[in-house]
Structure 1
Amino acid sequence: MVDAIDEIEQEARRKRSWRPARLQVSSPAHSTIEVSGWAKWFPADHVSMDHATGVTVANHCRTIQEEHYHVRRASISMEPLLDMTDSVRSALDKLLKDPQSSGATQDFQDTLRRQLGAHTSPERTRTELPVHRYFDTSVWDTSVVQLGDYSRLNADTHYVIEEMTFKLAELLADNADLVTSFVRTILDPSNTSVANSFLHDTMKMTGHLDDLKMLNQISEEIGDPGTSVRGLFGLVQVEHPTAVAIGVGNKLTTSYSLDLPRLKPDTLLADMESLRASLGITAPGAVDAVHRPGNPSRR
């Protein structure tokens, strides 16, 4: 068995000796790849791969990686609006005094963004690096390993997220129209039509978030360790990728799908009452009188 494996590796080396090999790495769609060390500039002699879904070590192969995200529950949180910093409170007070002011709206959004911090959506999920024409590999804790030229590997990964929580503050920071609806609801707590409009606008906003922001939120819920590629003295170590293809003439393709449930805004109205109380605006019974509209379907 060992002799047979040695013969396969020697034949693979002979076939790829006339062309430079490439190392292709993909991370989960909700993550990013961090490349460090000398891997970008110096071809690797040895590539170690750890905790991958699928690995292909051959030539002229096709690797297809598909990821499916299933979210069971989705809700909206008022945090950190219920515990505002002085700067956010000051910006909101100015906006409540002049709701039609575009400058006050912009200042409120800018202040929210500063409190929320940098919101980085995943941008780089693929990388490709040079490999020496004579290289060795080691693979650890990987679901599928494909050896043999002109082959095809299909790998599916399913992620199940029990609950995804959207922050209303992040939605407000991204949409001025939602800020206007939010302010109207605060200032007119007894108007059920205004409250219904705010609920509808909020759910519409969550239903049209771009995929990068959705994946960023999923990354926070999952607690993803990230994909890393580290290179030093001819050794490249790849950790937590979804797919890896190493060899000559390989093609690596990735795709993903999002399966989201209906949004549940039930606690949002009660939290709005708490926010009004902290601002000194009350209207008993306003929450019970509000009709909860259906959730618009996501594209």
Structure 2
Amino acid sequence: MNIIFVGKFRGKPLRCQLDGTRQLFTCATIISLFAGLLVSSGYWYGKTNAAVNELAALEHDISTQKILINEARQSAESELDALAARLGKMQANVIRLNALGQRLVKVAKLDSKEFDFKNTPAYGGPAETDSVASMYFNDVVANLDKQLASREEQLDVLEEVIMNRQLRRASKPRGRPITKGWTSSYYGKRTDPFSGRLAMHKGMDFAGKEGSEIVAVASGVVIWASDRYGYGELIEINHGNGYSTRYGHNAKLLVSVGDSVEKGQAISSMGSTGRSTGPHVHFEVLKNDRQINPAKFVALK
């Protein structure tokens, strides 16, 4: 049996002659081993290629996970920034509410120890771990925000009530219409200084030095500022709630119709115009356009 190997071996084909059974068996064994080697190489190549493909897929998954982690980190940072902004706003609300509470306590003259807006409120009670742990942090923040909003609304209502009370107090006549002087005549029946007859005097007279200040006994709006029969130069102020006051016999008027005046503001200077025997102010208090005794209002502080 002749086997010829064709190749560039010194430019000539290689011929191998096999004679006998042993040589044939050896050749068959070599051929079988070579074939097995080829099959093993193919199997190893296939497994290696599969492993490489699996490794590439795994690397792709890792890259995807890294991207997702970065997105989650950025989202968490954005949420933390938003949460910090909310907490900052809530802290500002707490500061503003505390300032408002302190102002209300001062205005209403309440007990500052009972209504303490300067110190942190006292808390206590047994721990409820399960109930606290079951609540989400965002829910806690939202609940705190609602509580602050409710407290703010309550304080605003309280402020409005107190301010209305203060406004009513400021618009109610109280005190004397002069800063210097004395009471020269009271409300009620008296002998008329001009006719000598008994007549009703519907106000109080306060005498003093001519030119001294006449002041408003309550805040309001001027509805009359000119001469009127018997009163001379007269100022009338509407204080609301049915109250108004009149100041007669003035020498000089310092306000005009439509002006807003505050309690204690100088509105005129004392004189003796109209039906008068000397420098004084004729002071009247009217309730629903009817003169009433000013004495109880003059006595108020």
TM-score when normalising by structure 2 = 0.22
Structure number with larger C-alpha Rg:
2
The structure whose residues are more often helix, as a share, is 2
The structure whose residues are more often strand, as a share, is 1
